[in-house]
Amino acid sequence: MIGIDWGTSSFRAFRLDADGTVTDRRVAARGILAVEDGRFEEELLRQVGDWLADGERQVLMSGMIGSRQGWQEAPYLPCPAGPAEIAAALGTVGCEGADLRLVPGLTCTDAAGTPEVMRGEETQIVGVLEEMAPRALVCLPGSHSKWARIEGGRIVGFATYFTGEAFAALSAHTILARLMRSAPPDPAAFDRGVARAGEPGHLLHHLFGVRTLGLFGRLAETAAASYLSGLLIGHEVRAALPGDGTAVHVIGSDELSALYARALTACGVVPVVHAEDAAARGLVRLGREAEWR
């Protein structure tokens, strides 16, 4: 089968053999925002047409490709949901020469009734379910970081944090930008930011401190971006950790995972870190659960 993790900004395809081993892969900066006029079928053929010509027929896609802005909407499935529920809710997309299915996103509501959504992360989580205890917490860092609670091998609920986008907007479009000079990541400054997040005061107060520390010569321009990153991730991690010793798993890019692992460790929790291509394993698992073959 072919598994595709097709997100907002990137396209990642995996050719999988009967054992679920990745035999080939294609990665392109062809996320759904880069595909014009809804020409997703054309794009699919451009990326993996040779695999299809080679005899592959089953294609399972996860991510924003199943959103309103994607190829076809796969309605959100409510939590709790595990591999069985997700596999039973796959959407079907008409596509000549392929049996194309869509993984639905998940939804839940927080304690106060505000809705939550994820699309793509559920597949990554499914990909590492077998490596975690029946009860665990999964952190998927990103523009919109997700923290999912796993119980009995199912996703029972999750919360999203706007951390990545907040960092991008605050570091580029506020007065803080003037205090920053682009430089390699500064781990010590990141750690200071994480520690600051644990001090009294709200995030909105701590943000102004980025400015005053710069003004008073206590934070170098080359360190300010790492400090801000640590401050925001530190706030997120402290807010998301339940504090009950639940094991935490991190799934993400090497760079982001390393930052989150660092922040979590500073907060007393050493996480298990998984590679981003948990998506490939999740697609295999869902394909199997769907009894597609």
Residue 47 is encoded by which pair of tokens? 């990326």
CB 38 to its own copies: min, Å? 18
111 contributes a contact to its own copies by CB under 8 A: yes
3-state helix, strand, coil in the chain (%, to 5): 40, 25, 35
Residue closer to its own copies, measured from CB, 1 or 176: 176
- The correct pick among 45, 95, 170, 272 for binding its own copies (CB under 8 A) is 170
Closer residue to its own copies (CB): 90 or 176: 176
- Which residues lie closer than 8 Å to 101 by C-beta, 6 or more apart? 58, 59, 60, 61, 90, 91, 92, 93, 290, 292
User: What minimum distance in Å lies between the beta carbon of 70 and its own copies?
Assistant: 14
**Which of the ranges 49-57, 132-140, 158-166, 278-286 carries the binding residues for its own copies, by CB under 8 A?**
158-166
Among 51, 161, 190, 227, binds its own copies (CB under 8 A): 161
From 92-100, 207-215, 255-263, 282-290, give the range in contact with its own copies by CB under 8 A: 207-215
Q: Binding residue for its own copies (CB under 8 A) from 163, 226, 229, 257? A: 163
Residue 169 touches its own copies, criterion: CB under 8 A: yes
d(CA 23, CA 263): 35
Choosing from 207, 248, 250, 283, the residue that interacts with its own copies (CB under 8 A) is 207
Query: Rule CB under 8 A: is residue 156 a binding residue for its own copies?
Result: no
Helix (H, G, I), strand (E, B) or coil at 131: helix
Torsion of CA 226, 227, 233, 237, to 10 degrees: 130
Residue that the structure tokens 């809804």 belong to: 38
Distance CA 36, CA 119 (A): 21
> Is residue 289 classed exposed, middle or buried when 0-12, 13-18 and 19+ CB atoms within 10 A define those classes?
middle
The verdict on 114 binding its own copies (CB under 8 A) reads yes
Query: Does residue 88 interact with its own copies by CB under 8 A?
Result: no
Among positions 55, 200, 243, 245, the unique one binding its own copies when judged by CB under 8 A: 200
Q: How many CB atoms lie within 10 A of CB 22?
A: 14
